[in-house]
Chain A
Amino acid sequence: MVTEQDIRAFHGELMRIKAEIGKDMVGQEDIVDGVLIAMVAGGNVLLEGVPGLGKTRLVRTLGRVFDLPFSRIQFTPDLMPADVIGTNIVVRDQSGGARFSFQPGPIFSSIVLADEINRATPKTQSALLEAMQEHTVTAGGQSRRLPEPFFVLATQNPIEQEGTYPLPEAQMDRFFFKLLVPFPTPGELVDIVLMTQKKEDQTSQRCATGEDLLRMREVARGIPVADRVMRAAVSLVAATHPKSELGGEAARKYLRYGASPRAAQALIFGAKVRALMKGRMNAALEDIHALACAVLRHRVALNFEAVTTGVTPDAVIGALLEEQAGKGDG
């Protein structure tokens, strides 16, 4: 049961978490905000960026700040599903008999870093599907529930595409956000270098628990959304469909297919969390606009024309937002 106190405490708690993460993370505020929003909303995040931008560090920091079990899986082409989920092994009991015992894989953590996820084979990638969506894994015909909260933070490298296996659309759709990790500014770079020269590298402290995170999720769920904001989110998602009557001009021109209903859900829930994060008690169009790219960029597929002319999903989404604003929907 959410109380008024929980609601009032939300913003402060989140700011405290953010501040604590900030002790270990230099810059990347948008990424931190995005990850926090996704965590509160119960979604998974796909981080895309070149190596060395602090992706792994962010996940580790999150685990420390929330005091949650953290595991990291380095995806490689020879990684097998059992390496992720776990497997049944034969163990001898005290009476000398043999029996199968399930040995949980690294997925049985609250925060899982799937590093370079696109380097694993589709078979192994798909092992994550059930875990990401249902928060369960099935091994040896038996489904096992993953600990709550459960959060997958996958990374992929936009360069070195050789020998990689692009994530299937179904799996991409499971990611709440896809965040592009930018290269730090020169000032941030200096801070990063200085931070790593310290003797004690890790300074962030635990300031929230998994229960806090789940309670915050409940709080966010109740945030009111005006009809107009809801319509704007839905219209935007509908506008990404090139063959739909509601499809936008930019979508017809540059997209092969549009976002799924999960995108609308992610937009609204994300907007609610962001509203609370900004100290508001209602989701606003501003939240929809701020999260549109993160929610939609991995859920739409560019067509040949867009690829050849260098049009990015973000550019298409930006154009769709402008179209919506022009119609008075956004």
Chain B
Amino acid sequence: MAEAFVRALAAAFCAGAAASLIVVLASHILPWGMDWRYALIAGASLFVPALAAGLILMRPGERDVARRVDALGLCERAETMLDYENDDGIFARMQREDALRALELLPKSRLRLSMPRRSLALCLLLAAALCAMSFVPNGNQDAIAERRLKEETDRRRERELLEKLEEKIDEAGLADELEEKAKAVLDELQKALEKAGTPSEKLAEISKAQDKLKTLEEEAAKKELENAGKALEKSNAAGELGEAMRKGGAKGMEKALEDMQKELEGLTGKERSERLGELAGAMDEAAGGLPDSSSIGHAMSELADALRKAASGDGGNEVGEGFERLEKALGEAAGGKSAALDDVRQLMEDLRRAAAGQGGSESGGEGQGEGQGEGEGEGQGEGEGEGQGEGEGEGQGKGKGKGSGQGEGQGSGAGAGSGEEIDKYESIYDPSLLGGEGDTEYVPGKPGENGEPQRIEMGDAEVRRGMIPYGEVYGSYVEKARRAMDREGVPEGMRDVIERYFSSLS
């Protein structure tokens, strides 16, 4: 029985050591986050059932014991005795007597515990192999450690960015209600990021937060316009602008500013000075009611200074520039953009890059954007679009259109980046990579006055069709798909399919 226990123990040790060795060997081949604890756990978890199984299976039967005893020099006496145990014949009886006599005469020293030498040798061999493996450098582990370090760095970067975001929201001087909402969005984002496992999940959460912040930004811009508009409405000189600002229409504000400028141009002498002073006062008052970070507030303050200088007969040109800056600030606010949240927006982009594992601590890089412009009316206009780039850098889109009025551009950008999470050597086909050196490209337009077709110069460009690293576009494609799903009203059932598809690519 003791011998069976020793054999079972040795077999269990072998099994455990083999399991540990397999885990260790596998860690050299497979990209596992190997820890010697795993090998120990694997060994221990096989050792226990192997020992139990060994004790059950190796428990010696009568015949095994007989054979074992016979091997000590009894010359099959014990086995024969067992075979003839039910035989009462004279031979069987005498054979039993002979076997028992031989057993009695068997020296006790020969009944020693026999060690399972093979199993013990195997145990030692496996243990030696395990020890040897600990000295074999594991390339996988280095890569994994590096990746973990990178992940930890990214997580730290995320935390820092989230802290910075909170600071920037504090500094933005938003209305209490908006600030509260923005912080709530951040809290929610922080929790979601902690729960998210993959970069794509993180990106999705960041996108959601960006959308929410975008809504808040629009609200903040609207509020700024309303507050400033109300303040201006009190003034006779700027009442029209104030009303337009309160209504929030970009065209209305533009028109009100043009009218204001025309009116000023039509005035002379004392009347002009008085009007300029009145306008400066109104602007100052309106700017005072806005947050320090407000671009409208800054533009109004600058315009007020310029107006005052002009009223004192100095710096006439600055008034025009001031109006232009105010027009631009109002246009941005009408478009839902608040300068107070510029930093927040930028930090959110940094956070996105960190989450995608593509960004470093710097936000510089290359970006490319596409833009579309739309124009209405006659003449030539230019629309500007914004693009968002994935990866390192931000994209810019520029739209050009023919017509008059305002052009609105929408841009989406694809930025080049490098990431560790997604294998950068896996390339996919990118149909249109703009940029780089090449011949000047022209887009033919309508025939001009001289009959020659007008040409729009695109600058040095070439369409580079080819393969680009998968990691550079993965994040932006996921994001584009997600936005498209939100925008296009993709059926509920298909959303999961698309989500799964992109998840499978990561």
Contact = CB atoms under 8 A, between A and B. Distances in A.
Interface of A: 2-4, 7-8, 222-229, 275, 280-286
A281 B91 contact: yes
B90 A282 contact: no
Interface string B120-151: 00000000000000000000000000000000
B80 A4 contact: no
A36 B91 CA distance: 22
B90 A7 contact: yes
B98 A282 contact: yes
B83 A222 contact: no
A283 B80 CA distance: 8
Contacts of A225: 80
A226 B76 contact: yes
B44 interface: no
A4 B92 CA distance: 11
Contact of B90 (A2, A228, A229, A275): A2
A4 B94 CA distance: 8
Contacts of B87: 224
A280 B77 contact: yes
B89 interface: yes
Nearest to A279: B98
Q: From DSSP, what is the main secondary structure of chain B's interface residues?
A: helix
Interface string B324-345: 0000000000000000000000
A7 B75 contact: no
Interface in B77-136: 77, 79-84, 87, 89-92, 94-95, 97-99
Contacts of B91: 7, 222-224, 281
Given A7-B90, A226-B76, A226-B80, 18 more contacts: A4-B90, A222-B91, A223-B91, A224-B84, A226-B83, A228-B67, A228-B76, A229-B76, A229-B80, A275-B75, A280-B77, A280-B98, A281-B91, A282-B76, A282-B98, A282-B99, A284-B75, A285-B76
Interface residues of B, number: 20
Contacts of A282: 75-77, 80-81, 95, 98-99
Interface of B: 67, 75-77, 79-84, 87, 89-92, 94-95, 97-99
Nearest to B67: A228
Contacts of B95: 223-224, 281-282
B61 to A, nearest CB: 14
A21 B155 CA distance: 100
A169 to B, nearest CB: 32
B94 A281 contact: yes
B8 to A, nearest CB: 21
Nearest to A282: B80
Contacts of A223: 91, 95
A40 B159 CA distance: 100
A226 B98 contact: no
A126 B91 CA distance: 39
A224 B80 CA distance: 7
Contacts of B98: 280-282
Contacts of A229: 76, 79-80
A275 B98 CA distance: 12
A227 B90 contact: no
22 contacts: A4-B90, A222-B89, A223-B95, A224-B80, A224-B83, A224-B84, A224-B87, A224-B95, A226-B79, A226-B82, A228-B79, A229-B76, A280-B77, A280-B98, A281-B95, A281-B97, A282-B75, A282-B98, A282-B99, A283-B80, A284-B77, A286-B75
Nearest to A285: B76
A225 B99 CA distance: 13
B252 to A, nearest CB: 103
Contacts of A8: 94
Nearest to A286: B75
Contacts of B94: 4, 7-8, 281
Contacts of B90: 2-4, 7, 222
Nearest to B92: A224
Going nearest first, the 6 A-B pairs with the smallest beta carbon separation are A284-B75, A282-B80, A281-B98, A281-B95, A226-B80, A222-B91
A222 B90 CA distance: 9
Contacts of B84: 224
A235 B124 CA distance: 37
B360 to A, nearest CB: 67
A164 to B, nearest CB: 41
Nearest to B77: A282
A55 to B, nearest CB: 31
Contact of A227 (B77, B83, B97): B83
B91 to A, nearest CB: 4
B76 A284 contact: yes
Contacts of B83: 224, 226-227
Contacts of B97: 281
A30 B305 CA distance: 134
Contacts of B81: 282
Contacts of B92: 224
Contacts of A284: 75-77
A8 B79 CA distance: 21
Contacts of A275: 75
Nearest to B73: A286
A143 B98 CA distance: 45
A193 to B, nearest CB: 38
Most B-side CB within 10 Å, residue of A227, A228, A282, A285: A282
B94 to A, nearest CB: 5
A283 B77 CA distance: 8
Nearest to A1: B90
A289 to B, nearest CB: 11
A280 B90 CA distance: 14
Contacts of B75: 275, 280, 282, 284-286
A3 B89 CA distance: 11
Contacts of B89: 222
Nearest to B95: A281
A229 B97 CA distance: 19
B167 to A, nearest CB: 80
B87 to A, nearest CB: 8
Nearest to B93: A4
